[in-house]
Amino acid sequence: SFLPSVPDVVLVTVITCGILLKPNLSLAVGFFCGLLFDVNYGGAVGLYAFIYFSAAFVMTRINSAFYREALMVPTLLFATSTIIKETIIFVMTFLFRGRFEFMSFWQMIIVPKMIVNTLIGFFLYRSVLMFVKSYEKRQEEKEKEKKIV
């Protein structure tokens, strides 16, 4: 395998949307991505919907607190969100079954996934940020044209 872990592109997408898009749209993206993930891959329907919705909610609250062009904050958010999400998954799926090997889970799952998600998130965020900025610029130009006419 090329990557040490499977990237969680859904989480990266939800975080990116939570930072760059409007709150209501971000929450909808988080919930429906989680619901689709639950239906396709999850064991218990609602676990991933709750996790991704919560991630989108937190990102919409953090959104106004920093300058969105500062790439260090989203990069740290990708790493932190991955750690929190995977810890919740560990608690909900392994700990309730009596499996207490958290350090093994940390080394084999969480750390590699955090590294991969952070790298993918950094490049995805930059790409989406450029797209959003160009879209907003076009919208502003359209508004100026409407005011002139």
Residue with tokens 């500062």: 70
CA distances, 41 to each of 5, 12, 48, 54 (Å): 17, 17, 10, 19
Contact 19, 59 (CB under 8 A): yes
Reduce the DSSP state of residue 146 to 3 states and report it.
Answer: helix
The pLDDT assigned to 64 comes to 66
Tokens of 67: 């300058």
In a structure prediction context, what are the per-residue pLDDT tens digits for the chain, which is 149 residues long? 556 678 888 899 999 988 888 889 999 999 999 999 888 886 778 888 999 999 999 888 887 667 777 888 889 999 999 999 988 888 887 777 777 788 888 888 889 999 999 999 999 999 998 998 899 899 888 888 887 76
Q: For residue range 124-142, what is the model confidence (pLDDT) as tens digits?
A: 999 998 998 899 899 888 8
